[in-house]
Chain A
Amino acid sequence: MDIVNIKGLTKKFGEFTAVDDIDFSIKEGEIYGLLGPNGAGKSTTINMICGLITTTKGFIEILGVDNQKYSNITKKNIGVVPQDIAVYEDLTCLENVKFFASLYGIKGKELKVKAEEALEFVGLSDKSKSYPASFSGGMKRRLNIACAIAHTPKLLIMDEPTVGIDPQSRNHILQSVKKLNERGCTIIYTTHYMEEVEAISTMISIIDHGKVIVTGTKEELKAIVTDKNTVEVTVIDGGVIKEEDLREIKGVTGVSINENIVKIDSLKEINNLDKIILYFTDNVIPIKNIENKVPDLETVFLTLTGRKLRD
């Protein structure tokens, strides 16, 4: 079942087209990554999905309901973690979460229970009576998430939720996203950090200049840009390696040696890694490191757009 169905979505600000006729659909249970550089149109798309800004053209359906006509219905099923930390510094953690959850019609005991659960989920239950003014950036980000999930939305939209935080907090957030997804929450995750999308997304759309360039699983996207596998082997002495012997291994299409690093290209459909390793062990060439160099999403983006994600 499609949780989100978008067709011909366009947003213009005056003469500037921020989102240009995009289509995509998100299935229930997916972690849908929207990857693109700053200014690509990710946040504008998100803002239209959550009803914060109007569309210029196009159609958005959330859980089978027209989002523009019946936003009061669709909004109840959406949680949004905004790009900017949007919490009140003079309300305690618990008060913040309770306030935002109350806007979704939750009240009384249920409100308190759900708010406490949300704080526990993000690891802030021991800080429920603390004021966010004293928090680190990472803790504020976690509170930002708690405020979006207390009402247990079916669709959670996370707009660059890890901007400007330490690796530990980032890791915590990414783990939280996976856990939420395991609980049945469909997630839209926008970022310009391709490692995050690679780590958690089950489906990815790459956006640039307001257009969806490509959509697919990460494997499908990587397959678009390469027809070969590259293995990089680091040895103690590269001088003893004979290139011609390596080229004789089935599937190998190219070998290059740069001091102690040997780069071996093979046809993508042939799995010959065991034979490559065997060559080194048979010839008693000690291996310091071996790495299967698959193209990352950065490469995909570079190939498709001619520029880097963080240009």
Chain B
Amino acid sequence: MNIISMIIKEVKHSFRDKKSMAMMILFPVALIVVLGAALKSDFTSNIDIGVPKVLYRIEAQGVVSDSFRSSFIEKGKDFKIEFTKMDDMDSAKKKVISSEYDAIIEMKSNNKIEFYKSGLESLKAGMVEGILSTYVQEFNVIMNISKVNPQIINSLLSDTNADYSTITSLNESAQPSSLDYYTIAEIALIIMYAGMTGLFGIASEKNLKTRDRILISPVKKYEFLIGKTIGGVICTILQIAIVILFSKYVLGANWGNDIFTVLLIFVSQIVMVISLGVALGFIFKNENVANGILNFMIPVMVFLGGSYMPVDGLGGKTFQAITYLSPVRWVNRSIFDVIYNNNYGKVPFTILINLGIAVIFLTIASLLFRKENV
């Protein structure tokens, strides 16, 4: 009950704070519109990531491997992938490491498909991985059907027109426009600034002396901390929801076919950044110092995350590796993978990173709060 009261109060504060509302809603909308329009030419009709070059080998023989060859490898042109047959795995791996090729696909004699890519993240390899996983997903559906009715396996594998799984995002021409790109990127950016909601949520209670008043009541310290954090998270979710609805229905930005997963990633980012703000509110007695630190950290993380401009392919290997130190990079990358590549590989890791950081900061805040002699 106490936590709910705290949450309701936080929502009221946020929605009556015109400055915060303008910052969290109007600012990202303006950025999406301006950057989406101004940098349209940089994105043309799509982001030209080039043609992924993939080495492949099929050891297996039979109807399954034939189907793989005909409906995946030979359709490479449709997917805008250049497949090259390989003989030797070691030399193929060297070619991938040296970036001569982007990935390796090998179908073993037991029909098991193995996928190799360079340890360094590549958009091209990610795209191939996404398409391959879609193919495998569809293939698995066919195999499951055949377990029930083994007689129809040959007809299913030779039927190239039917869809046996609900693959809707595999669209060779789907690439983010500048508007699509900056919709995701600017929302990820503005969510980082929600750290201030967490920070000032703690600082303002101290300044107004209302924190003592709350703690005089039967409210426990942990209830106060959880109430402030969840309150901040809900406020930000509501604010961001307005931006999302506006971008989707007014601006017509592409949110893909699985908006739930995209929202889940954003929510985890919100939890992370509110927890960071709350912790800074306890670490620093002076809110201006904490705010200064946030204002330094956010632009760096946002730049590395690609929210100012795309960072895929920017700089060398070292820079690319550094970009993944930013949680924003994981958020942006995993969302683009979900929307455009149907690739969910990074989603759990991104959510875990965000929630892990949140747990660390909330633990710090909790320990400092407990130590305070109030």
Q: Give the residues in chain B near A50, CB-CB below 8 Å.
A: 216
Contacts of A100 in B (CB 8 A): 213-214, 217
Contact A54 B373 (CB under 8 A): yes
Query: B284 → chain A, closest Cβ, in Å?
Result: 21
Q: Does B91 sit at the interface, judged by CB under 8 A?
A: no
- When the two chains form the complex, which single residue of B1, B213, B373 contacts A107, counting CB atoms closer than 8 Å? B1
Q: Which of B9, B16, B210 is close to A86, meaning CB atoms less than 8 Å apart?
A: B210
Query: Is there contact, CB below 8 Å, between A103 and B2?
Result: yes
Known: A76-B218, A102-B5. A86 touches B17 (CB 8 A): no
B210 touches A53 (CB 8 A): no
Instruction: Kindly report which residue of chain B lies nearest to residue A131, judged by CB atoms.
Output: B16
Contacts of A147 in B (CB 8 A): 213
Stretch at the interface among A77-85, A222-230, A294-302: A77-85
Does more than half of chain A's interface fall in helix, strand or loop, or is it mixed? loop
Contact B210 A75 (CB under 8 A): no
Interface residues of B in 162-215 (CB under 8 A from A): 208-210, 212-215
Chain B residues closer than 8 Å to A51, beta-carbon distance: 216
Interface residue? B112 (CB, 8 A): no
- Given known A-B contacts A86-B210, A88-B210, A107-B1, A95 and B12 have beta carbons under 8 A apart: yes
* Residues of A close to B16: CB separation below 8 A: 90
Set A88, A89, A105: member contacting B1, Cβ < 8 A: A105
Inter-chain contact A82/B212, CB cutoff 8 Å:
yes
Q: Please, which residues of chain B bring their CB within 8 A of the CB of A107?
A: 1
Whether a CB of chain A sits under 8 angstroms from the CB of B283 is no
Indicate if the CB atoms of B209 and A84 lie closer than 8 Å.
yes
B contact residues, total (Cβ < 8 Å)? 22
Q: Is the CB of B214 within 8 A of A90?
A: no
Bitwise, B205-237 to A at CB < 8 A (1) or not (0) is: 000111011111111100000000000000000
A257 at interface by CB-CB < 8 Å: no
A61 to B216 CA separation, bound complex (whole angstroms): 16
Q: Is the CB of A82 within 8 A of B214?
A: no
A87: interface (CB < 8 Å): yes
Contact of A82 among B5, B209, B219 (CB under 8 A): B209
Q: Does A52 contact B (CB under 8 A)?
A: yes
In the complex, whether A165 has a CB less than 8 A from a CB of chain B is no
Decide yes or no: A105 and B213 within 8 Å by CB, A91-B9, A91-B12 being known contacts: no
A147 to B9, CA, bound (A): 15
| Chain A: number of interface residues, binned into ranges | 20 to 34
A295 to B297, CA, bound (A): 65
Instruction: Kindly state whether residue B346 has any CB partner on chain A within 8 Å.
Output: no
Alpha-carbon separation in the docked complex, A75 to B215 (Å): 10
Instruction: Check if B17 sits within 8 Å of A90, measured CB to CB.
Output: yes
The verdict on B374 contacting chain A, using a C-beta distance below 8 Å, is yes
Tell me if A258 counts as interface (CB < 8 A to partner B).
no
Q: Are A104 and B13 in contact (CB under 8 A)?
A: no
Give Cα A120–Cα B1 distance, bound, in whole angstroms.
Answer: 26
**CB of B121 to closest CB in A, whole Å:** 45
Give bound CA distance, A105 to B13, whole Å: 22
- With an 8 A cutoff between CB atoms, is A99 at the interface? yes
Give Cα distance in the complex from A261 to B325, angstroms: 87
CB distance from B78 to the nearest CB of A (A): 58
Chain A to chain B contacts (Cβ below 8 Å), 28 pairs: A52-B215, A52-B216, A54-B373, A72-B218, A75-B217, A76-B218, A80-B216, A86-B208, A86-B209, A86-B212, A86-B213, A87-B208, A88-B9, A88-B13, A88-B210, A90-B12, A91-B12, A91-B13, A95-B12, A99-B5, A100-B213, A100-B217, A102-B1, A102-B2, A102-B5, A103-B2, A103-B217, A103-B218
Nearest 6 pairs of A and B residues by beta carbon:
A103-B217, A86-B209, A86-B213, A102-B5, A84-B209, A75-B218
